[in-house]
Structure 1
Amino acid sequence: MGKSDILALLEESFLDRKLVLLSNREPYVHRAIPRGFVCEKQAGGVAIALDPVMQMAGGTWLAWGSGNLDKRFVDEMDRVKVPPQDPKYVLKRVWLTEEEVENYYLGFSNRSLWPLAHNLCNQVVFRRKFWEFYKRVNEYFVQVTSGEIENKKALIWVNDYQLSLVPRKLRALAEDALIVFFWHIPWPSHDLFCILPNRKEFLEGLLGSDLLGFHTQNFCRNFLTCVEEELEAKVDSEESTVTYKDHVTKVKAFPISIDFEYFSSLAQSKETHAMLTKLKKGFHLDETILGLSVDRLDYTKGIPEKLKALDLFLERYPQYQGKFTFVQIAAPSRTKIKAYRELREEVVRLVNQINEKYQKRGWRPILFINRQVDHKTLSIYYRLADLAIISSVRDGMNLVAKEFIASQIDEKGILCLSEFAGAFEEMEHSIPINPYYTDGFAEAIKRALDMPLHEKRDRIRRMRQYLKEYDIYKWTYDIFQTLSEMIPSKAEADVDILMMRE
């Protein structure tokens, strides 16, 4: 499915509806730099995945304006057209106070929901204040969205765990709106979910959606079980629907993907080739086997577990010492949260220990890059890498795995992928790893590096072919197609409900 198929579907089924997309994180941010300002494309998974969709479809993207110069570049309605070099859609910025950011975003979203969804209960912190501000900001997003659609028919696409209460609240203000909610992180089992103090209200918020999407079928099953256990709702497991307070929500798995052609073309560009040659010389990589990881510096990414496995690998197989270099790119993340600062300290300590233990003249085993790296530079590392490691202890999807595959135009690299990343269900030709099992992890690295080139190429080709077919546009089409199929049944359901009331 391509862009033209999506546009045809939108015209056929949703021509009379305004497309409004909501997320916490904005796709473009204006910030100050020493010589002026820059408008940067955000590096988060939601922004990376959905920006090409909005550039194609148009509409309005509503999100928190987090840049320190964001207010300077909006009009009187807090809108700015993006991308700046070739505007395709409208970005409407929502302004949050420091107190709201502290409690709604850093608090409930990232100290309560985030660790809970990733099965890391030891990191979970609940505060009544967190929840109150979460409700307040969700209500604020609802009011701004309501003003944006101006009582017109709308297709509203809400994204991720920060805005879970929006669908139910928005439904009360715009009954004829079509509301899609996509949950971009794991959904936990009921045994874990039940520790959430406000879980009933939380579930009710999501069930205001017409279509509720998750990355995997397992996440869908977990959600349906939670609804069954917590609410007096009718759950149809065969149809994967929930009927609650006269409203039907379809629950379905849509594994998110990437713009395959963008990453593949970027890897093939003349600029990438020139920078690749320069990087090889700068880091003396011509005769080096290169391993790579690209992560946010987050405790869900299994970075300490990976470093311990690399330590064991180098100890167990000394023939790779001096010949194998591992590049760990780790973008700073949520540095105001203590757990993230402590994680950075642990990672730096482990990197230093490993380098001190094995380094030889002119060689260190680990190169740690603790900053944000843009896609153009990442494409060079993706092409250079003989091995990419995704070691998440829990992950909704992990798009880095797919970016690496799309960028492997030389077909020489191999992917080691955690069994606990959502992408593992699709990338069946990767090398599986269990980040908790250090011995097995080290052996997987050895297996990947020793794999014959013809087998690597066969595996990469199969995964590239899959991603070429199931890219971000196919993902988008499947969501809109599912929603379009629901329109007649939604109308019929509304009639049935009215008849029952009479």
Structure 2
Amino acid sequence: MVSKSYSNLLDMTSGDGFDFRQPFKSLPRVVTSPGIISDPDWDMRSDDDSVGSASSAERKIIVANFLPLNWTRDEAGQLSFSLDDDALLMQLKHGFSNETDVVYVGSLKVQVDPSEQDQVAQKLLREYRCIPTFLPSDLHQQFYHGFCKQQLWPLFHYMLPICLDKGELFDRNLFQAYVRANKLFADKVMEAINSDDDYVWVHDYHLMLLPTFLRKRLHRIKLGFFLHSPFPSSEIYRTLPVRDEILKSLLNADLIGFQTFDYARHFLSCCSRLLGLHYESKRGYIGIEYFGRTVSLKILSVGVHVGRLESVLKLPSTVSKVREIEQRYKGKMLMLGVDDMDIFKGISLKLLGLELLLERNPKLREKLVLVQIINPARSTGKDVQEAITEAVSVAERINRKYGSSSYKPVVLIDHRIPFYEKIAFYAASDCCIVNAVRDGMNLVPYEYTVCRQGNKEIDKLRGLDKDTRHTSTLIVSEFVGCSPSLSGAFRVNPWSVDDVADALCRATDLTESEKQLRHEKHYRYEAVFGALCFFLQQGFQKSNIS
């Protein structure tokens, strides 16, 4: 039975709700010519003709806020698109069989003129199996930069709007925009669904109302939801004025996936305390009974694509960049930080820890370099700008105090760099530090470990033989999802600058054998963990949604 909360959500669309009586359009199966798509009478086929056909292929519909596409605009103003191989959603395809028809539904990272939207939509469907959701610019601003980034993102990372200067108070108009945007995404998903055998996999906190809209349209829909961010404790979550609406909507999914058990436990606690629901747990199965349906909860930690990282490591450009980095920092211990530019990554706290280390240990000056790669911010806000300014200020202060004309303790890279260059920094760095004050899984430690394993080309560059044991050192915040799985890492409380400085000091004092043991422990785990994660992704719906 569908959650009773759907009627409230539909009321918020201000007269722009669904007409559930009208038939929905299915994704066309056969392209006969550019711009002309037909759907032949499949009932006329023989059984032999259906083997390997598009109609018999299992279909996965992956829904996310943004499509896994890059875009460019030429001088004439013409848009062109390409697949973003770095996007996690694109890498999910490797967890499915080759016969699986994967369709993506999401918005674009660029505004498209209404007169061009039909043409762009046909092109993206034809070339990339992508169905774009075009949100008006004002709705996108209220939905993404408003409710998602000002309300949900801080709350899910344990930041409460105590006063106007420390956060944004709840704005019901922004929530109504969130409802309308989710409704538009649901419309596009309905265009992609061909039959009851299709699986819909919704991703992340931007689309938490989607299960209600889809379940109302198709009662038997096979629907999974995966949360990439943390889910807060009930004491934090209950401060959200629309807490019940979001919980009830998520419970319209068949399966809800979380990065860690802690996040799933918090969700269960919210369902128990706020909705009075009970759950059953046995043999690794967690189920919530809700209006005659059993909603399954799973811990589906996201891993890294080991094969892709290894293939990038083999590129001549990567090997050349590793040589360049190692020559540039020859004789120095190279530490690395790779973080998105947001207020929860603890970049300034990391730099303060380094500053304290250099203050306490003069012998490490001129011998230690921290390269901090800052990925461009995905949202622009006062808090983000303040975080950037603060990080730059701390870095400049450290370089003035402990640097020289030929030496900078901190090297900030605050612009987008090619993927192979980031991989080269991973491979060349003696230590990697992840100091987030709150994060989901965070795959940086896993990527670093795989890259430190290197390959025969990099070993030859370093003059190593095939029997040489590789090394790596990790410093990881205890508040990130990957922390429990990295038993060989130094775990730190990012809020304690002394704790961070001590971990940095211990990392500089490890023997080669200790570095080898820590690396081998993590690499063996990652080799299995990466394969396991993609297996789980492949069976996400098949094994759990009926």
TM-score (norm 1): 0.87
Cα distance, 1:139–1:81 mapped onto 2, change above 3 Å: closer
Q: Which has the larger radius of gyration?
A: 2
Cα distance, 1:452–1:222 mapped onto 2, change above 3 Å: same
Name the CA distance, whole Å, in 2 between partners of 1:323 and 1:416: 19
User: Do structure 1's residue 252 and structure 2's residue 291 form an aligned pair?
Assistant: no
User: Do structure 1's residue 20 and structure 2's residue 61 form an aligned pair?
Assistant: yes
How much has 1:114 moved relative to structure 2?
0.7
2:136 maps to which residue?
97
Trace 1:45-124 onto structure 2 (pairs within 5 A): 46-47=88-89, 49-50=91-92, 52-53=94-95, 57-67=100-110, 75=119, 77-80=121-124, 90-122=129-161, 124=167
How much has 1:79 moved relative to structure 2?
4.9
Correspondence for 1:374 among 418, 437, 449: 418
User: Do structure 1's residue 332 and structure 2's residue 371 form an aligned pair?
Assistant: no
How much has 1:236 moved relative to structure 2?
2.2
Correspondence for 2:331 among 278, 287, 290: 287
How much has 1:46 moved relative to structure 2?
3.9
Correspondence for 2:446 among 377, 395, 402: 402
1:495 maps to which residue?
none
Cα distance, 1:78–1:207 mapped onto 2, change above 3 Å: farther
Q: CA RMSD in A?
A: 2.6
Aligned residues of 2:111 and 2:137 also touching (Cα < 8 A): no
User: Do structure 1's residue 481 and structure 2's residue 539 form an aligned pair?
Assistant: yes
Name the CA distance, whole Å, in 1 between partners of 2:75 and 2:405: 37
Trace 1:53-452 onto structure 2 (pairs within 5 A): 53=95, 57-67=100-110, 75=119, 77-80=121-124, 90-122=129-161, 124-125=167-168, 126-238=170-282, 239-281=285-327, 284-410=328-454, 411-452=470-511
SS in 2 for 1:470: helix
Higher helix share: 1
Name the CA distance, whole Å, in 2 between partners of 1:128 and 1:279: 51
Name the CA distance, whole Å, in 2 between partners of 1:196 and 1:98: 26
Deviation per residue, 1:72-109 (Å, 9 max, x gap) = 79846445269xxxx7x512211112212211111111
2:70 maps to which residue?
29
Name the CA distance, whole Å, in 2 between partners of 1:138 and 1:30: 23
Name the CA distance, whole Å, in 2 between partners of 1:447 and 1:177: 53
SS in 2 for 1:248: strand
Percent same amino acid at aligned positions?
26
Cα distance, 1:18–1:481 mapped onto 2, change above 3 Å: closer
Aligned residues of 1:31 and 1:68 also touching (Cα < 8 A): no
Name the CA distance, whole Å, in 2 between partners of 1:43 and 1:333: 19
Cα distance, 1:482–1:380 mapped onto 2, change above 3 Å: closer
Deviation per residue, 1:284-315 (Å, 9 max, x gap) = 21222111111111111111110110100111
How many residue pairs get aligned? The number is: 468
Name the CA distance, whole Å, in 2 between partners of 1:70 and 1:91: 18
Aligned residues of 1:291 and 1:389 also touching (Cα < 8 A): yes
Q: Which consecutive unaligned segments of at least 5 residues does structure 2 have?
A: 1-51, 455-469
Cα distance, 1:226–1:142 mapped onto 2, change above 3 Å: same
Name the CA distance, whole Å, in 2 between partners of 1:422 and 1:120: 17
Cα distance, 1:214–1:124 mapped onto 2, change above 3 Å: farther
Deviation per residue, 1:147-191 (Å, 9 max, x gap) = 221455310000000000111210111222211100001010000
Q: Which consecutive unaligned segments of at least 5 residues does structure 1 have?
A: 1-10, 491-502
TM-score (norm 2): 0.80
How much has 1:425 moved relative to structure 2?
1.7
